[in-house]
């Protein structure tokens, strides 16, 4: 009753505030269902009851009964409860109660047509300047940026550690949408807009829940469709013919890997998608391609190791 997210086709909830949002959405849907079940039959009843044959002349004095006013009052009260009791408290928490910076992962996410630049401040905790080149780079004239790290289209986070994302745009309006984290925020050029959330599910847990057996298409063009969805193999695929490895567990299933599997006679893979960031504002011709992967590490050490690997 409280949580319809499974039946509404909501993406898997991996966010600290996800339950609150899903419960609110569920109650909104219950109210809409109740209204639909009352209003729709009433509307059809009125079509029949007040048809032109039986009532050739309209009555201008209107309805005398007060029932409809009471019903409307009831709907207003229900909507007020949803707004004041559910929506506003959640909104206030998400917009006002930011976590301690010292206990959070802080990332500057700079959106551009058509990519996501994730900038981490490095060991000194301070962001240096970035260049206006495409893709964005660390401006070497600013010493604060010497240890900064940039990832393109991959956001690395740590499970249970709050993350503060400072959103900005280099060009047009974009929107930072992470359905699994129940986060969506427009990005306005010229503004820096912070959002925060807590990933409560790591990528490995997410993959275990989402994994399924997928057929590999015999059509090469269809196989190419998997690649942008960033599906990854959940088990090793050794070549049945010899001992070489066609795909390892955790490896991204690119078109090339899928073709290699298919050519070796493997027609289905056990695979999982990754959590994803998409742009939710139509921002140009290749808007659809503006997507990134969210990797939530199980431990801080794992996260630190990935960042260290990618620092210069």
Where along the sequence are the contacts to Cu ion (CB under 5 A)? Answer: 174, 279, 283, 290
Q: Tally Cβ neighbours within 10 Å of residue 233.
A: 22
Q: In the complex with Cu ion, which residue's Cβ is closer, 174 or 223? A: 174
Angle between helices 18-49 and 67-80 (to 10 degrees): 170
For residues 154 and 232, the answer to whether their CB atoms sit within 8 Å is no
Residue 159 C-beta: closest distance to Cu ion, Å? 27
Nearer to Cu ion, 12 or 172 (CB): 172
Q: Choose among 274, 271, 269: nearest CA to 291.
A: 274
The least distance separating Cu ion from the CB of residue 195, rounded to whole angstroms, comes to 16
Q: Which one, 113 or 272, has the nearer CB to Cu ion?
A: 113
Least CB distance to Cu ion at residue 166 (A): 17
Instruction: Give least dist CB 151 to Cu ion, A.
Output: 17
Minimum Å distance from CB 32 to Cu ion? Answer: 30
Residue with tokens 């600290």: 16
Cβ atoms 38, 101 nearer than 8 A: no
Give 201 or 290: the residue with its C-beta nearer to Cu ion. Answer: 290
Residue with tokens 């794992």: 302
Dihedrals phi, psi of 92, to nearest 5 degrees: -65, -40
Cα–Cα distance for residue pair 214/41, rounded to 1 Å:
43
Nearer to Cu ion, 238 or 284 (CB): 284
């Amino acid at each position: 009753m409280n949580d319809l997210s499974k039946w509404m086709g909501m993406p898997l909830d991996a966010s600290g505030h996800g339950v609150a949002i899903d419960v609110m959405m569920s109650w909104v849907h219950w109210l809409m269902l109740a209204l639909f079940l009352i209003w729709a039959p009433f509307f059809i009843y009125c079509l029949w009851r007040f048809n032109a044959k039986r009532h050739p002349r309209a009555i201008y004095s209107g309805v005398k009964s007060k029932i409809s006013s009471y019903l409307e009052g009831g709907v207003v009260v229900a909507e007020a409860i949803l707004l004041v009791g559910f929506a506003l408290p959640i909104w206030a928490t998400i917009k006002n109660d930011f976590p301690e910076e010292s206990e959070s992962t802080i990332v500057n996410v700079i959106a551009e047509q058509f990519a996501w630049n994730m900038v981490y401040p490095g060991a000194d905790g301070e962001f240096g300047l970035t260049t206006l080149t495409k893709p964005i780079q660390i401006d070497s004239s600013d010493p604060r940026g010497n240890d900064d790290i940039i990832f393109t289209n991959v956001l690395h986070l740590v499970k249970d550690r709050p993350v503060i994302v400072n959103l900005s745009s280099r060009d047009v309006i974009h929107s930072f949408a992470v359905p699994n984290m129940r986060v969506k925020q427009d990005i306005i050029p010229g503004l820096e807009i912070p959002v925060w959330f807590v990933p409560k599910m790591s990528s490995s847990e997410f993959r275990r829940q989402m994994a399924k057996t997928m057929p590999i298409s015999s059509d090469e063009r269809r196989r190419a469709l998997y690649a942008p969805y960033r599906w990854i193999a959940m088990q090793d695929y050794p070549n049945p013919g010899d001992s070489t490895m066609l795909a390892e567990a955790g490896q991204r299933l690119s078109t090339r890997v899928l073709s290699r599997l298919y050519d070796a006679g493997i027609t289905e893979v056990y695979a999982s998608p990754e959590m994803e960031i998409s742009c939710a504002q139509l921002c140009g011709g290749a808007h659809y391609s503006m997507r990134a992967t969210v990797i939530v590490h199980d431990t801080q050490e794992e996260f630190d190791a990935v960042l260290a690997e990618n620092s210069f």
